[in-house]
Amino acid sequence: MKIVRTQFGIHILKIVDQSKNVKKVQVGTLVKKVEPSSNTDQMYYSKASEFAGLNNSYAKFIEAANSQGLNVMFAQSVKPLDKNILDIQNAREVVKWAYGANEKDVSNVMKIGKKYIVAVVEDVKEKGYADMNDIREELKIEVRKQKKAEELSNELAEKMKNNSSISNLASSVSAQVQSTASVRFTNNSVAGLGFEPKVVAAAFALEEGKISEPVVGNNGVYVVSVTSVSQPSDVEAIKSREQTMMDRNYQRRVNYMAIEALKERANITDNRVKFF
């Protein structure tokens, strides 16, 4: 028995059991934040200034960066009111400079946070439809995706002639059957598949036990089978709730679209990029 006084009062303690003594180590950690000195900061500012001064054209900029082993970061489609560029936070100064510069211009040194940045305008895209050369690779990827989906869809349609069940069809194309519960018409996504509104629509167009035609979705080609359908217990309550949600959504859209229509009719030019 022992009397112990603490900030919470007086306690009477008695040890009724004790584990075996084991050697233990207590570790203390000392953390000291390392900050660059003013000399180091000035040294890197001088290097950045020298780089910007000597390489005041796009060609010189790229050549010097490559020869010095510097990491050139390319940011695509920078918008006028963007706040961040890639992993650079609070980069409004860079964005403002870019929108006031010409194509291939090189900036002076800008300090963003703890970084010194020298920027260059690689390309300026005019408002309107994109130039074919700018989106050629994206189009190639999309066309290949569509052609592959078409081939898979035709293959599945052919296999379905000799396979009446979805499990047999899956085996014939070395695929797996994936089950998903609680698919709702109001959801555009399917668990395990992602954003697939066409798959959801196909499922709700089927009768129980039937198999759909091949469905070309965003992430693949699917064949859907409905195993069971659950009817809502209170249709009127659900209908009322959905109607209320739709009304609220339309109200928000109407307010937004009205303001946008007024902006368009007023022919407003947004110059906030020059000031913020």
pLDDT at 271 exceeding the cut of 90: no
Q: Which residues of 192-201 are buried (b: 16+ CB within 10 A; e: fewer)?
A: ebeebeebbe
Query: What is the pTM (predicted TM-score) of this model?
Result: 0.56
Question: What's the pLDDT score for residue 58?
Answer: 94
Residue 267 is predicted with a pLDDT of 77
Token pair, residue 94, equals 């860079």
pLDDT for 184 equals 84
Q: Concatenate the DSSP letters of all residues of 32-95 into one string.
A: ------HHHHHHHHHHHHHHHHH--SHHHHHHHHHHTT--PPP--S--TT---BTTBSS-HHHH
pLDDT at position 276 is 74
Which 3 state secondary structure label does DSSP give 26?
coil
DSSP 160: T
Query: 52 with 108: CB under 8 angstroms?
Result: yes
Q: Is the pLDDT of residue 43 over 90?
A: yes
| 137-175 pLDDT, tens digit each | 889 999 999 999 999 999 999 999 888 888 888 888 888
pLDDT at 162: 87
Q: Distance (Å, rounded) from C-alpha 64 to C-alpha 55?
A: 7
Say whether pLDDT at 268 is over 80.
no
Across the chain, mean pLDDT equals 89
* Predicted confidence (pLDDT) per residue in 4-37, tens digit: 899 888 998 888 888 788 888 889 998 888 888 9
pLDDT of residue 106: 95
The pLDDT score that the predictor gives to residue 35 is: 87
| For the chain, domain boundaries | 38-117, 134-222, 236-266
Tell me the pLDDT tens digit for each residue of 68-126: 998 899 998 898 889 999 888 999 999 999 999 999 999 999 999 889 999 999 988 88
pLDDT of residue 96: 92
Reply yes or no on whether the pLDDT at 67 is more than 90.
yes
CB–CB of 88/111 below 8 Å? no
Whose tokens are 């500012």? That residue is 45
